[in-house]
Chains A and B, each alone.
Chain A
Amino acid sequence: MHPASLSQPAGLVRAGPKAPQFDATADAARRKIWRLARRIALPAAILIAWQAVTAAQWVSSASLPSPLAVAAAWWEWIFGPRQALAWYSGTWGLYLLMSLERVAAGFAIAAAAGVSLGVLIGWYAVVEDLFDGTINFLRAVPMTAWVPFAVFLFGIHESAAIFLIAFGSFFPIVVNVAAGARQTPRILIRAARMLGTPPRRLLLRVVLPAALPSIFTGLRVGLGLAWVLVIVAEMLAVQGGLGYALWSAYQFSRLDLILAAIVSVGGLGLASDRLISLLARRILRWQTGSMGQ
Protein backbone atom coordinates (compact mmCIF):
# COMPACT_ATOMS: atom_id res chain seq x y z
CA MET A 1 0.00 0.00 0.00
CA HIS A 2 2.89 2.30 0.73
CA PRO A 3 4.98 2.40 -2.42
CA ALA A 4 7.92 4.11 -0.71
CA SER A 5 8.23 1.56 2.06
CA LEU A 6 7.96 -1.36 -0.33
CA SER A 7 10.29 -0.29 -3.11
CA GLN A 8 13.24 0.90 -1.08
CA PRO A 9 14.76 0.33 2.34
CA ALA A 10 13.61 2.84 4.94
CA GLY A 11 17.16 4.15 5.47
CA LEU A 12 17.36 5.45 1.91
CA VAL A 13 14.28 7.65 2.18
CA ARG A 14 15.71 11.16 2.48
CA ALA A 15 12.50 13.03 3.08
CA GLY A 16 10.98 13.30 6.54
CA PRO A 17 8.76 10.51 7.79
CA LYS A 18 5.62 12.29 6.66
CA ALA A 19 6.65 12.91 3.07
CA PRO A 20 5.97 9.42 1.62
CA GLN A 21 2.57 9.30 3.27
CA PHE A 22 1.59 12.65 1.82
CA ASP A 23 2.66 11.43 -1.63
CA ALA A 24 0.61 8.29 -1.21
CA THR A 25 -2.63 10.13 -0.47
CA ALA A 26 -2.10 12.63 -3.28
CA ASP A 27 -1.40 9.69 -5.59
CA ALA A 28 -4.54 7.92 -4.49
CA ALA A 29 -6.63 11.04 -5.09
CA ARG A 30 -5.18 11.47 -8.56
CA ARG A 31 -5.89 7.84 -9.38
CA LYS A 32 -9.47 8.27 -8.18
CA ILE A 33 -10.05 11.26 -10.45
CA TRP A 34 -8.61 9.39 -13.45
CA ARG A 35 -10.78 6.41 -12.67
CA LEU A 36 -13.90 8.61 -12.58
CA ALA A 37 -12.85 10.22 -15.86
CA ARG A 38 -12.48 6.82 -17.52
CA ARG A 39 -15.87 5.77 -16.25
CA ILE A 40 -17.78 8.75 -17.66
CA ALA A 41 -15.78 8.94 -20.90
CA LEU A 42 -18.04 6.65 -22.96
CA PRO A 43 -21.43 8.14 -21.99
CA ALA A 44 -19.99 11.64 -22.53
CA ALA A 45 -18.62 10.67 -25.94
CA ILE A 46 -21.98 9.21 -26.99
CA LEU A 47 -23.82 12.38 -25.94
CA ILE A 48 -21.35 14.65 -27.74
CA ALA A 49 -21.40 12.56 -30.93
CA TRP A 50 -25.19 12.43 -30.83
CA GLN A 51 -25.42 16.20 -30.42
CA ALA A 52 -22.86 16.75 -33.20
CA VAL A 53 -24.65 14.43 -35.62
CA THR A 54 -28.02 16.09 -35.07
CA ALA A 55 -26.59 19.64 -35.03
CA ALA A 56 -24.84 19.02 -38.36
CA GLN A 57 -28.15 17.79 -39.79
CA TRP A 58 -26.62 14.50 -40.97
CA VAL A 59 -29.91 12.98 -39.93
CA SER A 60 -33.17 14.87 -39.94
CA SER A 61 -34.47 15.96 -36.57
CA ALA A 62 -37.67 14.02 -37.36
CA SER A 63 -35.82 10.71 -37.47
CA LEU A 64 -33.42 11.50 -34.60
CA PRO A 65 -34.03 14.33 -32.14
CA SER A 66 -30.98 15.94 -30.56
CA PRO A 67 -30.08 15.27 -26.93
CA LEU A 68 -31.17 18.81 -26.09
CA ALA A 69 -34.57 18.22 -27.71
CA VAL A 70 -34.94 15.02 -25.70
CA ALA A 71 -34.01 16.89 -22.54
CA ALA A 72 -36.59 19.58 -23.32
CA ALA A 73 -39.32 16.99 -23.94
CA TRP A 74 -38.32 15.19 -20.80
CA TRP A 75 -38.50 18.44 -18.85
CA GLU A 76 -42.03 18.97 -20.03
CA TRP A 77 -42.91 15.36 -19.24
CA ILE A 78 -41.66 15.89 -15.69
CA PHE A 79 -42.56 19.48 -14.88
CA GLY A 80 -45.14 20.44 -17.50
CA PRO A 81 -48.66 21.40 -16.37
CA ARG A 82 -51.14 18.55 -16.24
CA GLN A 83 -53.56 18.98 -19.09
CA ALA A 84 -56.61 17.04 -20.01
CA LEU A 85 -55.50 16.46 -23.61
CA ALA A 86 -51.70 16.04 -23.42
CA TRP A 87 -51.12 12.55 -22.06
CA TYR A 88 -47.54 13.20 -21.14
CA SER A 89 -47.23 16.70 -19.77
CA GLY A 90 -46.38 16.49 -16.06
CA THR A 91 -47.05 12.75 -15.78
CA TRP A 92 -43.51 11.45 -15.37
CA GLY A 93 -43.49 11.30 -11.56
CA LEU A 94 -46.86 9.60 -11.47
CA TYR A 95 -45.89 7.00 -14.09
CA LEU A 96 -42.58 6.36 -12.40
CA LEU A 97 -44.36 5.69 -9.14
CA MET A 98 -46.81 3.34 -10.84
CA SER A 99 -44.02 1.28 -12.40
CA LEU A 100 -42.10 1.27 -9.14
CA GLU A 101 -45.12 0.04 -7.20
CA ARG A 102 -45.76 -2.78 -9.66
CA VAL A 103 -42.13 -3.89 -9.57
CA ALA A 104 -42.06 -3.71 -5.78
CA ALA A 105 -45.25 -5.74 -5.36
CA GLY A 106 -44.40 -8.36 -7.98
CA PHE A 107 -40.79 -8.71 -6.90
CA ALA A 108 -41.72 -9.01 -3.22
CA ILE A 109 -44.04 -11.90 -4.01
CA ALA A 110 -41.42 -13.55 -6.23
CA ALA A 111 -38.66 -13.11 -3.64
CA ALA A 112 -40.71 -14.52 -0.76
CA ALA A 113 -41.97 -17.49 -2.77
CA GLY A 114 -38.71 -18.10 -4.63
CA VAL A 115 -36.45 -18.05 -1.58
CA SER A 116 -38.65 -20.26 0.58
CA LEU A 117 -39.46 -22.79 -2.13
CA GLY A 118 -35.86 -22.73 -3.41
CA VAL A 119 -34.40 -23.59 -0.02
CA LEU A 120 -36.90 -26.41 0.41
CA ILE A 121 -36.15 -27.78 -3.07
CA GLY A 122 -32.42 -27.66 -2.43
CA TRP A 123 -32.68 -29.38 0.92
CA TYR A 124 -35.50 -31.92 0.69
CA ALA A 125 -35.29 -34.48 -2.11
CA VAL A 126 -39.07 -34.97 -1.90
CA VAL A 127 -39.77 -31.30 -2.58
CA GLU A 128 -37.23 -31.33 -5.40
CA ASP A 129 -38.94 -34.32 -7.02
CA LEU A 130 -42.32 -32.65 -6.67
CA PHE A 131 -41.39 -29.30 -8.19
CA ASP A 132 -38.25 -29.61 -10.28
CA GLY A 133 -39.79 -30.85 -13.52
CA THR A 134 -42.66 -28.38 -13.51
CA ILE A 135 -40.40 -25.44 -12.72
CA ASN A 136 -37.99 -26.35 -15.47
CA PHE A 137 -40.82 -26.63 -17.98
CA LEU A 138 -42.44 -23.32 -17.02
CA ARG A 139 -39.05 -21.65 -16.96
CA ALA A 140 -38.52 -22.64 -20.59
CA VAL A 141 -41.60 -20.66 -21.69
CA PRO A 142 -40.59 -17.08 -22.58
CA MET A 143 -42.30 -14.79 -20.10
CA THR A 144 -43.82 -12.60 -22.82
CA ALA A 145 -45.80 -15.64 -23.95
CA TRP A 146 -47.78 -15.35 -20.72
CA VAL A 147 -49.07 -11.85 -21.50
CA PRO A 148 -52.26 -12.90 -23.36
CA PHE A 149 -52.93 -15.50 -20.69
CA ALA A 150 -52.53 -12.94 -17.90
CA VAL A 151 -54.78 -10.39 -19.60
CA PHE A 152 -57.39 -13.06 -20.30
CA LEU A 153 -57.30 -14.16 -16.69
CA PHE A 154 -57.06 -10.80 -14.91
CA GLY A 155 -58.31 -8.34 -17.52
CA ILE A 156 -56.69 -4.93 -18.08
CA HIS A 157 -56.00 -4.61 -14.41
CA GLU A 158 -53.16 -4.08 -11.91
CA SER A 159 -53.21 -7.74 -11.00
CA ALA A 160 -52.29 -8.78 -14.55
CA ALA A 161 -49.07 -6.76 -14.35
CA ILE A 162 -48.22 -7.93 -10.86
CA PHE A 163 -48.90 -11.54 -11.82
CA LEU A 164 -46.54 -11.26 -14.80
CA ILE A 165 -43.76 -9.67 -12.77
CA ALA A 166 -44.08 -12.05 -9.83
CA PHE A 167 -44.38 -15.13 -12.01
CA GLY A 168 -41.48 -14.16 -14.27
CA SER A 169 -38.95 -13.13 -11.65
CA PHE A 170 -39.85 -16.09 -9.45
CA PHE A 171 -37.99 -18.56 -11.68
CA PRO A 172 -34.44 -17.17 -11.61
CA ILE A 173 -34.80 -16.72 -7.85
CA VAL A 174 -36.05 -20.23 -7.12
CA VAL A 175 -33.48 -21.86 -9.39
CA ASN A 176 -30.53 -19.97 -7.91
CA VAL A 177 -31.64 -20.47 -4.32
CA ALA A 178 -32.19 -24.20 -4.88
CA ALA A 179 -28.72 -24.55 -6.38
CA GLY A 180 -27.21 -22.70 -3.43
CA ALA A 181 -29.07 -24.75 -0.85
CA ARG A 182 -28.12 -27.97 -2.63
CA GLN A 183 -24.44 -27.04 -2.38
CA THR A 184 -24.45 -26.58 1.40
CA PRO A 185 -21.13 -28.13 2.47
CA ARG A 186 -21.78 -31.45 4.19
CA ILE A 187 -19.10 -30.69 6.74
CA LEU A 188 -21.05 -27.64 7.98
CA ILE A 189 -24.15 -29.82 8.41
CA ARG A 190 -22.07 -32.25 10.41
CA ALA A 191 -20.57 -29.43 12.46
CA ALA A 192 -24.02 -28.12 13.34
CA ARG A 193 -25.25 -31.62 14.26
CA MET A 194 -22.33 -32.29 16.60
CA LEU A 195 -22.81 -28.89 18.23
CA GLY A 196 -26.37 -29.80 19.14
CA THR A 197 -28.59 -28.66 16.25
CA PRO A 198 -31.46 -31.11 15.68
CA PRO A 199 -32.12 -32.12 12.03
CA ARG A 200 -35.30 -30.07 11.71
CA ARG A 201 -33.44 -26.85 12.55
CA LEU A 202 -30.58 -27.38 10.05
CA LEU A 203 -32.54 -25.62 7.32
CA LEU A 204 -32.66 -22.37 9.25
CA ARG A 205 -29.26 -22.58 10.93
CA VAL A 206 -27.05 -23.84 8.11
CA VAL A 207 -28.77 -24.26 4.73
CA LEU A 208 -30.29 -20.78 4.59
CA PRO A 209 -27.15 -18.84 5.57
CA ALA A 210 -24.98 -21.05 3.35
CA ALA A 211 -27.30 -20.26 0.43
CA LEU A 212 -27.21 -16.48 1.02
CA PRO A 213 -24.72 -15.70 -1.78
CA SER A 214 -26.88 -17.64 -4.26
CA ILE A 215 -30.00 -16.02 -2.84
CA PHE A 216 -28.60 -12.60 -3.67
CA THR A 217 -27.55 -13.72 -7.14
CA GLY A 218 -31.11 -14.94 -7.73
CA LEU A 219 -32.64 -11.75 -6.35
CA ARG A 220 -30.45 -9.63 -8.59
CA VAL A 221 -31.34 -11.53 -11.73
CA GLY A 222 -34.99 -11.60 -10.67
CA LEU A 223 -35.10 -7.86 -10.10
CA GLY A 224 -33.61 -7.21 -13.51
CA LEU A 225 -36.30 -9.37 -15.06
CA ALA A 226 -38.98 -7.59 -13.02
CA TRP A 227 -38.06 -4.35 -14.80
CA VAL A 228 -38.28 -6.05 -18.19
CA LEU A 229 -41.69 -7.44 -17.34
CA VAL A 230 -43.14 -4.24 -15.92
CA ILE A 231 -42.44 -2.51 -19.24
CA VAL A 232 -43.94 -5.39 -21.23
CA ALA A 233 -47.01 -5.47 -18.98
CA GLU A 234 -47.50 -1.70 -19.19
CA MET A 235 -47.15 -1.69 -22.96
CA LEU A 236 -49.72 -4.43 -23.41
CA ALA A 237 -51.81 -5.11 -20.33
CA VAL A 238 -52.29 -2.12 -18.04
CA GLN A 239 -52.67 1.65 -18.13
CA GLY A 240 -50.13 4.10 -16.77
CA GLY A 241 -46.47 3.59 -15.94
CA LEU A 242 -43.26 4.12 -17.90
CA GLY A 243 -44.01 1.26 -20.29
CA TYR A 244 -47.39 2.78 -21.03
CA ALA A 245 -45.71 6.13 -21.69
CA LEU A 246 -43.22 4.40 -23.97
CA TRP A 247 -45.98 2.81 -26.02
CA SER A 248 -48.03 6.01 -26.15
CA ALA A 249 -44.97 7.95 -27.30
CA TYR A 250 -44.55 5.41 -30.10
CA GLN A 251 -48.19 5.78 -31.13
CA PHE A 252 -47.82 9.55 -31.22
CA SER A 253 -44.48 9.19 -33.07
CA ARG A 254 -42.60 11.02 -30.30
CA LEU A 255 -39.09 9.63 -30.52
CA ASP A 256 -37.87 12.26 -28.05
CA LEU A 257 -40.23 10.90 -25.40
CA ILE A 258 -39.38 7.30 -26.30
CA LEU A 259 -35.73 8.09 -25.62
CA ALA A 260 -36.58 9.92 -22.39
CA ALA A 261 -38.60 6.90 -21.23
CA ILE A 262 -35.78 4.51 -22.13
CA VAL A 263 -33.27 6.53 -20.13
CA SER A 264 -35.73 6.70 -17.20
CA VAL A 265 -36.23 2.94 -17.16
CA GLY A 266 -32.50 2.32 -17.49
CA GLY A 267 -31.76 4.65 -14.60
CA LEU A 268 -34.34 2.98 -12.39
CA GLY A 269 -33.09 -0.49 -13.22
CA LEU A 270 -29.53 0.55 -12.49
CA ALA A 271 -30.51 2.21 -9.21
CA SER A 272 -32.42 -0.83 -7.98
CA ASP A 273 -29.56 -3.13 -8.95
CA ARG A 274 -27.12 -0.92 -7.03
CA LEU A 275 -29.42 -1.00 -4.03
CA ILE A 276 -29.57 -4.77 -3.98
CA SER A 277 -25.83 -5.24 -4.42
CA LEU A 278 -25.22 -2.73 -1.65
CA LEU A 279 -27.50 -4.78 0.58
CA ALA A 280 -25.71 -7.96 -0.50
CA ARG A 281 -22.32 -6.51 0.30
CA ARG A 282 -23.48 -5.60 3.79
CA ILE A 283 -25.06 -8.95 4.53
CA LEU A 284 -22.30 -10.98 2.90
CA ARG A 285 -19.48 -9.22 4.73
CA TRP A 286 -18.38 -12.65 5.95
CA GLN A 287 -17.55 -13.80 2.43
CA THR A 288 -13.95 -13.91 1.30
CA GLY A 289 -14.62 -12.28 -2.04
CA SER A 290 -17.65 -10.04 -1.68
CA MET A 291 -20.15 -10.27 -4.51
CA GLY A 292 -21.87 -7.28 -6.00
CA GLN A 293 -20.29 -4.48 -8.05
Chain B
Amino acid sequence: MSNQAPFIAFRNVYKSFRDAREGRLVHALDNISLEIERGAFVTVIGPSGCGKTTLLNLLAGFERPSSGEVLLEGEAIERPGADRGVVFQEYALFPWLTLRQNVEYGPRERGIPASLVREITDRTLAMVKLAGAENRYPHELSGGMRQRAAIARVLVNDPKILLMDEPFAALDAQTRARLQQEVARVWMETRKTVFFVTHSVEEAVLLADRVIAMTALPGRLKADVEIKLPRPRDPTSPSFNDHRRELENLLRDEIIIGAATGNA
Protein backbone atom coordinates (compact mmCIF):
# COMPACT_ATOMS: atom_id res chain seq x y z
CA MET B 1 0.00 0.00 0.00
CA SER B 2 2.58 2.56 1.05
CA ASN B 3 4.75 1.50 -1.89
CA GLN B 4 2.06 2.76 -4.20
CA ALA B 5 1.47 5.98 -2.29
CA PRO B 6 3.25 9.06 -3.57
CA PHE B 7 6.15 10.21 -1.40
CA ILE B 8 4.38 13.41 -0.43
CA ALA B 9 0.78 14.32 -1.14
CA PHE B 10 -1.35 17.34 -0.31
CA ARG B 11 -5.00 16.42 -0.78
CA ASN B 12 -7.53 19.28 -0.93
CA VAL B 13 -5.71 21.19 1.78
CA TYR B 14 -7.29 24.32 3.22
CA LYS B 15 -5.66 26.37 5.92
CA SER B 16 -7.00 29.46 7.58
CA PHE B 17 -5.97 31.14 10.78
CA ARG B 18 -6.72 34.28 12.69
CA ASP B 19 -4.25 37.08 12.16
CA ALA B 20 -2.61 37.71 15.53
CA ARG B 21 -2.49 41.51 15.22
CA GLU B 22 -5.64 42.44 13.34
CA GLY B 23 -7.79 39.51 14.40
CA ARG B 24 -9.20 38.93 10.92
CA LEU B 25 -9.39 35.48 9.37
CA VAL B 26 -6.63 34.78 6.85
CA HIS B 27 -7.18 32.13 4.20
CA ALA B 28 -3.61 31.02 3.65
CA LEU B 29 -4.21 27.94 1.53
CA ASP B 30 -7.19 27.28 -0.69
CA ASN B 31 -7.72 23.75 -1.96
CA ILE B 32 -4.13 22.69 -2.55
CA SER B 33 -3.58 19.30 -4.13
CA LEU B 34 -0.03 18.39 -4.97
CA GLU B 35 2.23 15.37 -5.17
CA ILE B 36 6.00 15.28 -4.85
CA GLU B 37 8.08 12.28 -5.81
CA ARG B 38 11.01 11.00 -3.77
CA GLY B 39 14.34 12.61 -4.51
CA ALA B 40 12.91 15.70 -6.19
CA PHE B 41 14.24 19.20 -5.66
CA VAL B 42 11.12 21.34 -5.52
CA THR B 43 11.14 25.09 -5.04
CA VAL B 44 8.05 27.10 -4.16
CA ILE B 45 7.80 30.73 -5.18
CA GLY B 46 5.08 33.29 -4.77
CA PRO B 47 4.41 36.84 -3.60
CA SER B 48 5.33 37.51 0.03
CA GLY B 49 2.76 36.31 2.52
CA CYS B 50 1.19 33.96 -0.03
CA GLY B 51 1.10 30.90 2.13
CA LYS B 52 4.25 29.19 0.88
CA THR B 53 5.67 29.01 4.38
CA THR B 54 2.33 27.59 5.56
CA LEU B 55 2.80 24.83 3.03
CA LEU B 56 6.22 24.10 4.52
CA ASN B 57 4.90 24.29 8.10
CA LEU B 58 2.26 21.67 7.26
CA LEU B 59 4.97 19.34 5.94
CA ALA B 60 7.07 19.99 9.03
CA GLY B 61 4.09 19.21 11.25
CA PHE B 62 4.29 22.61 12.96
CA GLU B 63 0.72 23.29 11.82
CA ARG B 64 -2.25 21.11 10.88
CA PRO B 65 -4.50 21.70 7.87
CA SER B 66 -7.94 23.20 8.54
CA SER B 67 -9.26 20.54 6.21
CA GLY B 68 -7.78 18.06 3.75
CA GLU B 69 -4.70 16.01 4.46
CA VAL B 70 -0.93 16.12 4.10
CA LEU B 71 0.64 12.71 3.66
CA LEU B 72 4.20 11.45 3.83
CA GLU B 73 4.52 7.98 2.30
CA GLY B 74 0.79 7.58 2.66
CA GLU B 75 0.61 8.56 6.32
CA ALA B 76 -0.87 11.77 7.65
CA ILE B 77 1.67 14.20 9.09
CA GLU B 78 0.51 14.99 12.60
CA ARG B 79 3.55 16.33 14.43
CA PRO B 80 7.15 17.43 13.79
CA GLY B 81 9.73 14.68 13.52
CA ALA B 82 13.38 14.09 12.80
CA ASP B 83 12.48 12.48 9.44
CA ARG B 84 11.65 16.00 8.19
CA GLY B 85 14.54 18.39 8.77
CA VAL B 86 13.73 22.11 8.69
CA VAL B 87 16.21 24.85 7.82
CA PHE B 88 14.87 28.23 8.93
CA GLN B 89 15.72 31.62 7.51
CA GLU B 90 16.68 32.76 11.02
CA TYR B 91 18.98 29.70 11.47
CA ALA B 92 17.36 28.90 14.87
CA LEU B 93 20.52 27.32 16.22
CA PHE B 94 20.54 26.86 19.99
CA PRO B 95 22.67 29.81 21.13
CA TRP B 96 23.78 28.02 24.31
CA LEU B 97 25.31 25.11 22.40
CA THR B 98 28.54 25.13 20.42
CA LEU B 99 28.47 24.36 16.74
CA ARG B 100 29.34 20.72 17.40
CA GLN B 101 26.77 20.41 20.17
CA ASN B 102 24.14 21.90 17.87
CA VAL B 103 24.88 19.30 15.22
CA GLU B 104 25.01 16.48 17.79
CA TYR B 105 21.72 17.57 19.32
CA GLY B 106 19.45 15.54 17.03
CA PRO B 107 21.33 12.21 17.15
CA ARG B 108 21.65 12.49 20.93
CA GLU B 109 17.96 13.19 21.36
CA ARG B 110 17.26 10.10 19.31
CA GLY B 111 19.45 8.01 21.60
CA ILE B 112 22.23 7.18 19.17
CA PRO B 113 25.38 5.87 20.93
CA ALA B 114 28.04 8.50 21.60
CA SER B 115 30.78 7.01 19.44
CA LEU B 116 28.49 6.88 16.43
CA VAL B 117 27.26 10.42 17.11
CA ARG B 118 30.87 11.63 16.95
CA GLU B 119 31.51 9.86 13.72
CA ILE B 120 28.42 11.04 11.85
CA THR B 121 28.87 14.57 13.21
CA ASP B 122 32.44 14.70 11.91
CA ARG B 123 31.30 13.44 8.54
CA THR B 124 28.45 15.93 8.32
CA LEU B 125 30.60 18.88 9.43
CA ALA B 126 33.08 17.97 6.71
CA MET B 127 30.29 17.74 4.15
CA VAL B 128 29.13 21.32 4.82
CA LYS B 129 32.76 22.48 5.20
CA LEU B 130 32.59 23.49 8.83
CA ALA B 131 35.33 21.27 10.21
CA GLY B 132 37.57 23.39 12.47
CA ALA B 133 34.88 25.73 13.85
CA GLU B 134 33.22 23.09 16.05
CA ASN B 135 33.80 24.73 19.40
CA ARG B 136 32.47 28.16 18.55
CA TYR B 137 29.11 29.39 19.71
CA PRO B 138 26.56 30.51 17.09
CA HIS B 139 27.07 34.21 17.87
CA GLU B 140 30.75 33.76 16.98
CA LEU B 141 29.90 32.46 13.49
CA SER B 142 29.12 34.40 10.33
CA GLY B 143 25.63 34.19 8.83
CA GLY B 144 26.84 31.79 6.15
CA MET B 145 28.48 29.51 8.73
CA ARG B 146 25.36 29.56 10.87
CA GLN B 147 23.25 28.47 7.96
CA ARG B 148 25.74 25.71 7.11
CA ALA B 149 25.48 24.59 10.72
CA ALA B 150 21.68 24.63 10.50
CA ILE B 151 21.88 22.46 7.40
CA ALA B 152 24.37 20.12 9.07
CA ARG B 153 22.21 19.58 12.14
CA VAL B 154 19.31 18.32 10.01
CA LEU B 155 21.46 16.32 7.57
CA VAL B 156 23.03 14.47 10.50
CA ASN B 157 19.55 13.10 11.31
CA ASP B 158 19.42 11.53 7.84
CA PRO B 159 15.92 12.90 7.18
CA LYS B 160 13.62 11.75 4.38
CA ILE B 161 13.12 15.33 3.27
CA LEU B 162 14.78 18.70 3.77
CA LEU B 163 12.39 21.60 4.29
CA MET B 164 14.09 24.91 3.63
CA ASP B 165 12.23 28.14 4.40
CA GLU B 166 13.90 31.02 2.51
CA PRO B 167 17.18 29.81 4.00
CA PHE B 168 19.46 32.27 2.22
CA ALA B 169 17.27 35.40 2.27
CA ALA B 170 19.26 37.03 5.08
CA LEU B 171 22.69 36.40 3.55
CA ASP B 172 24.79 38.66 1.36
CA ALA B 173 24.89 37.92 -2.36
CA GLN B 174 28.27 36.19 -2.41
CA THR B 175 27.55 33.95 0.55
CA ARG B 176 24.15 33.15 -0.89
CA ALA B 177 25.65 32.12 -4.24
CA ARG B 178 28.17 29.87 -2.51
CA LEU B 179 25.55 28.23 -0.33
CA GLN B 180 23.27 27.69 -3.32
CA GLN B 181 26.10 25.75 -4.95
CA GLU B 182 26.66 23.78 -1.78
CA VAL B 183 23.01 22.86 -1.44
CA ALA B 184 22.95 21.72 -5.05
CA ARG B 185 26.05 19.62 -4.41
CA VAL B 186 24.69 18.12 -1.18
CA TRP B 187 21.46 17.28 -3.01
CA MET B 188 23.41 15.55 -5.80
CA GLU B 189 25.41 13.59 -3.22
CA THR B 190 22.56 12.56 -0.95
CA ARG B 191 19.59 12.60 -3.34
CA LYS B 192 17.35 13.69 -0.52
CA THR B 193 14.04 15.23 -1.38
CA VAL B 194 14.23 19.00 -0.94
CA PHE B 195 11.26 21.33 -0.49
CA PHE B 196 12.65 24.82 -0.80
CA VAL B 197 10.64 28.01 -0.28
CA THR B 198 12.00 31.18 -1.82
CA HIS B 199 10.87 34.53 -3.14
CA SER B 200 13.72 34.65 -5.65
CA VAL B 201 12.87 33.38 -9.11
CA GLU B 202 16.53 33.07 -9.98
CA GLU B 203 17.18 30.91 -6.92
CA ALA B 204 14.16 28.77 -7.77
CA VAL B 205 15.33 28.12 -11.33
CA LEU B 206 18.94 27.64 -10.28
CA LEU B 207 18.18 24.85 -7.84
CA ALA B 208 14.99 23.06 -8.74
CA ASP B 209 13.81 20.19 -10.89
CA ARG B 210 10.39 21.61 -10.45
CA VAL B 211 9.17 25.10 -9.55
CA ILE B 212 5.75 25.55 -8.01
CA ALA B 213 4.34 29.06 -8.25
CA MET B 214 1.61 30.18 -5.88
CA THR B 215 -1.00 32.90 -6.16
CA ALA B 216 -1.49 35.78 -3.77
CA LEU B 217 -3.82 35.04 -0.84
CA PRO B 218 -5.77 32.88 -0.63
CA GLY B 219 -2.85 30.68 -1.75
CA ARG B 220 -3.58 28.44 -4.70
CA LEU B 221 -1.28 26.68 -7.13
CA LYS B 222 -0.65 28.96 -10.07
CA ALA B 223 1.85 26.99 -12.09
CA ASP B 224 3.97 23.88 -11.85
CA VAL B 225 7.01 24.12 -14.08
CA GLU B 226 9.60 21.45 -14.72
CA ILE B 227 13.18 22.69 -15.12
CA LYS B 228 15.26 20.34 -17.20
CA LEU B 229 18.39 22.43 -17.52
CA PRO B 230 21.67 20.54 -17.07
CA ARG B 231 23.58 21.05 -13.82
CA PRO B 232 25.55 22.98 -12.76
CA ARG B 233 23.32 25.68 -14.15
CA ASP B 234 24.43 28.89 -15.78
CA PRO B 235 22.18 31.80 -14.81
CA THR B 236 23.38 33.78 -17.83
CA SER B 237 22.38 31.22 -20.43
CA PRO B 238 19.40 31.96 -22.74
CA SER B 239 17.48 28.85 -21.68
CA PHE B 240 17.87 29.81 -18.00
CA ASN B 241 16.54 33.25 -18.79
CA ASP B 242 13.56 31.82 -20.69
CA HIS B 243 12.45 29.98 -17.55
CA ARG B 244 13.11 32.97 -15.46
CA ARG B 245 11.11 35.30 -17.68
CA GLU B 246 8.19 32.91 -17.79
CA LEU B 247 8.05 32.64 -13.98
CA GLU B 248 8.58 36.33 -13.41
CA ASN B 249 5.68 37.17 -15.69
CA LEU B 250 3.48 34.75 -13.77
CA LEU B 251 4.50 36.31 -10.49
CA ARG B 252 4.13 39.88 -11.67
CA ASP B 253 0.42 39.31 -12.24
CA GLU B 254 0.11 37.94 -8.71
CA ILE B 255 1.94 40.82 -7.13
CA ILE B 256 -0.40 43.27 -8.89
CA ILE B 257 -3.45 41.27 -7.74
CA GLY B 258 -1.99 41.07 -4.25
CA ALA B 259 -1.41 44.81 -4.13
CA ALA B 260 -4.98 45.44 -5.27
CA THR B 261 -6.42 43.26 -2.50
CA GLY B 262 -3.97 44.50 0.11
CA ASN B 263 -2.09 41.26 0.53
CA ALA B 264 1.23 42.04 -1.11
Contacts and interface: CB of A to CB of B under 8 A. Distances in A.
Interface of A: 185, 187-188, 190-197, 201, 205-206, 209-210, 212, 285-288
Contacts of B92: 185, 187-188, 190-191
Given A187-B92, A194-B62, 20 more contacts: A187-B88, A188-B92, A190-B62, A190-B88, A191-B86, A191-B88, A193-B62, A194-B61, A194-B82, A194-B84, A194-B85, A195-B157, A196-B81, A196-B157, A209-B96, A210-B96, A286-B95, A286-B97, A287-B95, A288-B95
Interface of B: 60-62, 79-82, 84-86, 88, 90, 92-97, 105-106, 109-110, 137-139, 153-154, 157
Contacts of A212: 96
27 contacts: A185-B92, A187-B88, A187-B92, A188-B94, A190-B60, A190-B62, A190-B88, A191-B88, A191-B94, A192-B105, A193-B62, A193-B80, A194-B62, A195-B82, A195-B105, A195-B106, A195-B109, A195-B153, A195-B157, A196-B109, A196-B110, A197-B109, A212-B96, A286-B95, A286-B96, A286-B137, A288-B139
Q: In the complex, which of the residues A196, A197, A288 has the most CB atoms of chain B within 10 Å of its own CB atom?
A: A196
Q: Is the interface of A mostly helix, strand, loop or mixed?
A: helix
A286 B60 CA distance: 28
Contacts, number: 67
A187 B61 CA distance: 13
A212 B94 CA distance: 13
A285 to B, nearest CB: 7
B86 A190 contact: yes
Contacts of A196: 81-82, 106, 109-110, 157
A215 to B, nearest CB: 12
A286 B157 contact: no
Q: In the complex, which of the residues A192, A194, A196, A287 has the most CB atoms of chain B within 10 Å of its own CB atom?
A: A194
B60 A194 contact: yes
A206 B110 CA distance: 16
A245 B86 CA distance: 63
B94 A209 contact: yes
B154 A195 contact: yes
A195 B97 CA distance: 14
Nearest to A289: B139
Q: In the complex, which of the residues A185, A188, A206, A286 has the most CB atoms of chain B within 10 Å of its own CB atom?
A: A286
B95 A193 contact: no
Nearest to B88: A187
A227 B85 CA distance: 49
Contact of A193 (B79, B94, B110): B79
